[in-house]
A and B are shown apart, each in its own frame.
Chain A
Amino acid sequence: MADSGTADSRGGKSFKLVTREGTRLNFTYGIGFELVPFNILKKSTVPDILQGKIKNIEQIYLFSLPIKEFQIVDRFFGSSLKDEVMKIMPVQKQTRAGQRTRFKAFVVIGDSNGHVGLGVKCSKEVATAIRGAIILAKLSVIPVRRGYWGSLIGDPHTVPSKVTGRCGSVICRLVPAPRGTGIVAAPTPKKLLQLAGITDCYTTSRGSTRTLGNFVKATFAAIGNTYAFLTPDRWKDVEFKQSPYQEFSDILA
């Protein structure tokens, strides 16, 4: 969840780079005593973050670098990230000495403007599970591409194309909707889509959606696929060259 998706500023070029082995996303540095997180893209960008050269998280997404510390996400988003606990549920494991119960927390986080994250954490105590799930949600923040249903007026409001995601047996499909439709979905993925900043969307789902854990993960995967989809406006112009046989015909002849 953390390293899929490519960044694409609206209408700009986008390309997916494979993460290089030499990149680091860990560094601790402090500004005075302010807790500033490790995470560095590269050694030279640590001071870049400090100096403001890395201004937004899109530059991190551009190179598909894994984010290893949640404080980086905090730094980029500040207070605009809202987290919400979707569900705490006890899960049980049978042991010789009876049943062992742990609590599983599902947390979604988002800024309602193009970024969402989903965190799932299981722990013996509720507080630990929630805290851990919030951290994991921050680590998995992903960009969301939005587009238009019809006319290209105003801000993008819906998914750019039909995208689908699956997890377990659950398949979730998001379909573009005209402005004003709202989010047509079950309550749980609806929360996720709202935090993503998608205003209008139709959804279709299939499979055992009662396992809401899988359902939510499938929706999250579908949202992540919005940037993985190659739409025609991202096609690059190819200049047509002669084929090698033509080009070197005099030598070959």
Chain B
Amino acid sequence: MYSKRKTRHLKTHAIVTSSTKPKSSHKLEKSNNHDSLNHQIPFAPSPVVSNSNKLTTTLTKNHQSIKKPSPKVSQVLLGFSDGNIGLEEDIDPYLSKIGGVPNWLIKSFPPPYDFIICKNCEKEMFLLFQGFIPLEESPYERIIYVWVCNQQKCMKCPGSFRVIRAHRLDEKFMKNLKKNKNNSYNDQIKIELQKPSTIFNLGDTLFSTQDMPSAMGGLDGMLFDNDNGADKLSANITSKSMLPKAQVVYDFDVNHSSNTPIWSQIVAGPAVVNDVDSKLHDDITTKLVISDVSEIFSNSPWPEKIPFFPAQYLYITEEILEEKPDPNLKKYERYFNASLDNNEDDSFDWMGEKYEKSCLPRGVDKAFRKFSDRVSEWPDQCIRYEFDGQPLLYNQSDPTASLLLSPPHGSVKQLKTSTQRLPKCPKCGSKRVFEFQLMPNMLCILPTGEYATNSSEKKNGIKDSKCGIAQFDVGMEWGTIMIFTCQKDCEAYNVSKDEVSYYEELVLVQYEL
């Protein structure tokens, strides 16, 4: 049912010729897209026509003559940076981009501002990626935002990488879906149109306390009030004045093993946060508590200006892998036919050689070799997208990798990852699957160094914080960021088109070494 999801495909637009850079064609699409209900550019591939011609002519100098072109199109979509977005153009939530200001599905319905405060250093985090990624057969507009803290000292600490998914109902698309009988979302659509009784069940489990601070908004109190659920809702839903301005429903992961309602946990204080990407040696499943929002009640308004990187468009295409020819081995061709009996004359000198494993530099292991080989085909890729696919691991020996690789400590010959040991979605209990990963090339494109503030108090040993290796010590640093989302893309609150619901998803980070 939900096993295979494909992203919506672009209208056949960009016929990429070899002369034009992707920029121009991409902007062409953009100009059609400022109509907010017009879903033009989800995160989807643009059909790269005449791909082999374009690619081979502009490939690296090393790939001079392709003797046997056998390009293989993989299922992965790549995102490349495609030009700056001006400040005044950076308003479209239906745009996938890197950096920039976050654009909400409904402007007056942002997530809580506290979400983007780094838990480690309490500064604001920077938006790294915003992607409009609606799933097929889903009536919701879906955007994923990734925030990262730009402080060197917050790296490898919990709470400095966060990702949320936003949902909003798309009525037009839902009507189209209804017509399709085989659609698996039919049940959910029926719920949309009726008085939702399931909400109250949800409310019982979630919210046991009665007095909600009114900061939450009237409708929330109504929805999740144990006592007079149905009556109150029907009575109040008609009066528009009761509908609060900022009705935001958000949901964050909490410890699944606990049975106490989430509300009370949150009110009590910040839950224990264990970083998933460090200290995962012992029993992983019980310790894994993904970040919990401690001040969920705060209705702190978003400030006028938040820090952000200059935004870049994203050009999405399919990944095409080609077999690389060997450039420089012509002079060694005489060795190629070497056989066992060729070396008798001077084998006397080289006796006693045995098979030895290569001595690799520190940090290079099998997983990294695969990573670098795969990425070197398209070195400036920023995003790799494959819903329910296999992420490219940065290394195979850090805690994140050991969480993903199966079998856990056995031989990792094939480096196949599985997400069965990751925490499940707190809303629907389904497992999480890999969706996309951010590549370190983004750190090249975004000027993270310039936007970072040096924390000079940390470097006590070095007199001058600018000398030596410390001068490079600014901003964020990571190897790869992998995002895992609910496999069923659950919508727990059945939002309508006037509301936006936010869900926090799982982010795993792999660092160097």
Task: Please give the residue numbers on chain A whose beta carbons come within 8 Å of chain B beta carbons, in ascending order.
Answer: 1-3, 17, 19-30, 32-38, 40-47, 50, 63, 66-69, 71, 83, 85, 87-91, 93, 101-104, 119-122, 126-127, 130-132, 134, 136, 139-140, 208, 210-213
Contact = CB atoms under 8 A, between A and B. Distances in A.
Contacts of A20: 469
Contacts of A19: 362
Interface in B169-228: none
A213 B440 contact: no
B335 A30 contact: no
B379 interface: yes
A46 B339 CA distance: 44
Given A66-B363, A136-B358, A211-B352, A22 B477 contact: yes
A155 B394 CA distance: 44
Interface stretch (B24-32, B55-63, B494-502): B55-63
Given A20-B469, A33-B59, 4 more contacts: A27-B440, A34-B60, A35-B379, A121-B358
Nearest to B475: A43
A47 to B, nearest CB: 6
Contacts of A50: 444
Given A43-B443, A85-B332, A210-B352, A22 B473 contact: yes
A83 B335 CA distance: 15
A89 B61 contact: no
B301 interface: no
A3 B352 contact: no
Given A127-B336, A211-B351, A25 B363 contact: yes
A21 B350 CA distance: 40
Contact of B444 (A47, A120, A212): A47
B329 interface: yes
Given A24-B477, A90-B340, A101-B340, A43 B350 contact: no
5 contacts: A2-B361, A22-B473, A35-B62, A68-B372, A122-B356
Contacts of A25: 363, 512
B347 to A, nearest CB: 7
B364 interface: yes
Given A22-B477, A23-B469, A89-B353, A68 B332 contact: no
A182 to B, nearest CB: 22
8 interchain residue pairs of minimum CB distance: A30-B380, A42-B472, A2-B361, A44-B449, A35-B60, A30-B379, A24-B512, A29-B444
Contact of B152 (A22, A139, A211): A22
Contacts of A44: 448-449, 472, 474-475
Nearest to B449: A44
B368 A26 contact: yes
